[in-house]
Amino acid sequence: MTIPRFREMYSLRPGDLAWDEVKLSVVIPAYNEIDTVEILVKAVRQVRLSLEVIVVDDGSTDGTRDLLTRLEKEGLIDVLVFQEVNKGKGAALRVGFQRATGDIIAVQDADLEYDPQEIPKLMEPILAGKADAVYGSRFLGGPHRVLFFWHMMGNRFLTLLSNMFTDLNLTDMETCYKVVHADLLKRLPLSANRFGFEPEVTARLAQAGARIYELPISYDGRSYAEGKKINWKDGLAALYYILRSNILGPKSAPWQAPKVQPWEGRALTHVKRPALTAGTAENAPSDVLEEDEGHGGGGSSR
């Protein structure tokens, strides 16, 4: 499958970021999402990056499994995992993280509340060396569907309480969109099985000393009639995991970002090796010279 040149599709993005070298793993937990998951997976596939799509079905009983099997056969899903019983979002995500082979991992719900085309924007601070994790916030002014006043208040209260323990200043701890350096995410001690994943991963990132950014995103929330699953019990569980993750162990070990990121190493190899081998600029391959002229030293054409 040919991956379109990301820099050509998103010409306004900084030309010195290694868009053509980085690999993104999108982990999608799914439970009884037969009405939305096919549309969602196809939307994820439209993201113009080297992409790995991982779907973990968490014991669906509504036909979602058969649909996912077909999508895998069509090549839309790279890794498909079936859990025999419903264990919860956190449990499904841990399985997906273990299977991920990308440099950066993004969490994507199987409904249509979050737009996959905004994932590259969330990756940008990581590729620029400014962040280790990026949260997409629903409360920083992005367009959103108007729904559920008390849900909003609950989200803000949980975020406030989490911030008090982590000493962060997040606006949306409960957001689905968390984009994290893969090496960092895989070393975090995570155990929450349901929606306790959100406060737990936030606490673990803070304990690791990760650099966290927030960026505004759009949000097309759905009603309970449309399939929304979170309820007041999950809010109580979030309270528990905020306390547990910040007070009790195991806590995350300190994180130190690599001096040379995997995608930077690949970019150096692909751009500089031909010129060094040739010895002079005049003898360098023409595609490298053209890329340097057009993008100020970006990756070579493939």
Dump pLDDT digits (tens) for 28-52.
999 999 999 999 999 999 999 999 9
Specify whether 224 is located in the same domain as 283.
no
pLDDT at residue 17, as a whole number: 87
Specify whether 60 is located in the same domain as 202.
yes
Instruction: Pick 6 or 19 by higher pLDDT.
Output: 19
pLDDT at residue 283, as a whole number: 40
Cα–Cα distance between 178 and 199 in angstroms, integer? 12
Specify whether 161 is located in the same domain as 282.
no
**pTM for this predicted structure:** 0.81
pLDDT at residue 271, as a whole number: 53
Specify whether 284 is located in the same domain as 152.
no
Domain that holds residue 15: 6-247
Pick from 150, 201, 154, 206: nearest CA to 179: 201
Cα–Cα distance between 80 and 72 in angstroms, integer? 7
Q: What does the pLDDT look like over 213-272, one tens digit per residue?
A: 999 999 886 455 555 556 667 778 889 999 999 998 799 999 999 988 989 888 777 654
Specify whether 288 is located in the same domain as 176.
no
pLDDT at residue 230, as a whole number: 64
Q: What does the pLDDT look like over 170-201, one tens digit per residue?
A: 999 999 999 999 999 999 999 999 889 999 99
Q: Which residues pair with 25 in a beta bridge?
A: 52, 105
Cα–Cα distance between 54 and 82 in angstroms, integer? 11
Specify whether 122 is located in the same domain as 271.
no
Specify whether 169 is located in the same domain as 281.
no
